[in-house]
Chains A and B, each alone.
Chain A
Amino acid sequence: MRATHWLTAASFIGLAVSGVAILLAHPRLYWGETGALGTPSLIDLPLPFMLTGQSGWGRYLHFLSAWIAVLTGTVYVLGGTRAHHFRHDLFRPAQPAKYNVVQRITYAAVVFVLFPLMIWTGLAMSPGVTAVLPLLVTSMGGQQSARTIHFIVASLLVLFVVGHVAMVVFTGFTRHVGAMILGGEPSAPEVQT
């Protein structure tokens, strides 16, 4: 389980960096099936258009990282279910609870709502996959809507990671990271935030 955390962390960095590289080729977001320069946009991001081929390696890295994230995520969800991690720490926590209610809701939303939405909207942009499962994209309101939702959910995940890392830093970086790598509980008692 600890290994899945660090694999997810590595693939998340890969996905975020390459996602920005891909976005910079056309930092405009639309709603519906289609959208291009000369058509109305939903959001014009204050970013430059970079047409110098950043999206090439961006795509290669994005899909390699996506495979690692999805395979790791599968192991994590199966392992977490088997070890009753989700039940004991999230849904029906023992008293006193290890995490507070805001932490539990956030964590559950990230694992069971945001990550699945990223995979769904990601696949909804794939012309090969939607030829097999058109519902993936029609349910999102079109290919460009899927792209926009993919961007918004990605931004929420980045916010989560920033908050997550900040909390670890504020509550004792060395102790927590030690526990995250070696296992067990953080060594010194402290107030959970």
Chain B
Amino acid sequence: MSRLITRRKVMTTALTALGGASGLAVAARLADRYGLIPPDHSGLYGAGETLTYASHRLLTAHGSLAREFRPDQISKVAPINGPPPTAFDYEQLLRRGFTNWRLEIDGLVARPSSFSLAELHGFTVSRQITHQACEEGWSFIAEWIGVPLGYVLNLVGASPNARYVVFYAYDDDWESIDMADASHPQTLLAYGMNGTDLPAGHGAPLRLRLPRQLGYKSIKYIAQISVVDTLKDIGDGSGSSAPGYGYSWYAGI
């Protein structure tokens, strides 16, 4: 075999590699623009997470609905993972029945606002009987009562540049979801459960309900909501406190 072929082979390989690399770079930029890259995309497991999140976003782009159940299917046992926060300010709120609690909403919104529990009760009421699965493996069905997050975001005038909604809780956890989930009709700010006020262990006074993802994304004990266009400057940039504990940001699995 002549050197010419070897050289040609080398050049073809180099060109293919270059083409492949720039193709990947273009694909990554496009994927990012269309919201297909999760914030915890780097690291050893990032490729798997990105494939999962991107394929779910492409599959669920048309507003698929989580299954809803009949009232007689509501579970008699609805376990909780860990007790409510022991922080002083949370215990004060709990003692006074959350009458002095207010939900703060800020960030990329036309009208930064704060709402009392009574004001939230006055908004559109949405009820859903959905399945909640803990990432550990157990699950239950419950009825959740609240206001759709999308309704509240409209009310405060969320910017068209918004890409994520961030939640801060009294137990120092924080969480974020993309706008596809934030504007989904089943995404609730829930203040009620199974016909009563939300019990403390289930996240009183207000928790997120996100039935298209595992239980840990439905953050409890919400204090503040922030609308943002990037998650890079928040915490370690991985999108929520879950990756810090070793759990993926996207939990639609």
Instruction: Please classify the interface of chain B as helix (H, G, I), strand (E, B), loop, or mixed, using the class held by over half of its residues.
Output: loop
CB-defined interface of A31-53 with B at 8 Å, one 1/0 digit per residue? 00111111100000000000101
**Cα–Cα distance between A60 and B73 once the two chains are bound (Å):** 32
Q: A162 an interface residue at 8 Å Cβ cutoff?
A: no
Residue of A nearest to B215 (CB): A127
A128 touches B75 (CB 8 A): no
Once the chains bind, are B137 and A37 in contact (CB under 8 Å)? no
Interface magnitude class on chain A = 35 or more
Chain B residues contacting A22 (CB-CB under 8 Å) are 137
How far apart are B240's CB and chain A's nearest CB, in angstroms? 13
Are A25 and B137 within 8 A (Cβ)?
Answer: yes
The listed residue (A23, A65, A127, A147) touching B212 by CB distance below 8 A is A127
Question: Does the CB pair B136–A26 fall under 8 Å?
Answer: yes
The answer to whether A130 and B67 touch (CB under 8 A), given A34-B131, A35-B138, A35-B139, is yes
Task: Give chain B's interface residues, CB within 8 Å of chain A.
Answer: 44-45, 47-49, 51-52, 56, 59-60, 64-67, 69, 73, 75-79, 131, 133-141, 211-214, 245-248, 252-253
Q: What 8 A-B pairs have minimum CB-CB distances, sorted nearest first?
A: A56-B246, A128-B252, A64-B48, A26-B137, A60-B45, A36-B138, A25-B136, A131-B64
User: What are 26 pairs between A and B in contact, CB < 8 Å?
Assistant: A22-B137, A26-B138, A28-B137, A34-B75, A34-B139, A34-B141, A35-B138, A37-B79, A39-B76, A53-B247, A55-B136, A57-B45, A60-B246, A64-B44, A64-B48, A65-B48, A67-B52, A127-B66, A127-B252, A128-B213, A128-B253, A129-B56, A129-B252, A130-B67, A131-B67, A137-B67
| Extra inter-chain contacts (14) besides given A128-B56, A128-B60, CB under 8 Å | A25-B135, A25-B137, A28-B138, A60-B45, A61-B45, A66-B48, A67-B51, A128-B253, A129-B252, A129-B253, A130-B66, A131-B65, A143-B131, A147-B137
Q: List chain A positions with a Cβ less than 8 A from chain B.
A: 22-23, 25-26, 28, 33-39, 51, 53, 55-57, 59-61, 63-67, 125-132, 134, 137, 143-144, 147
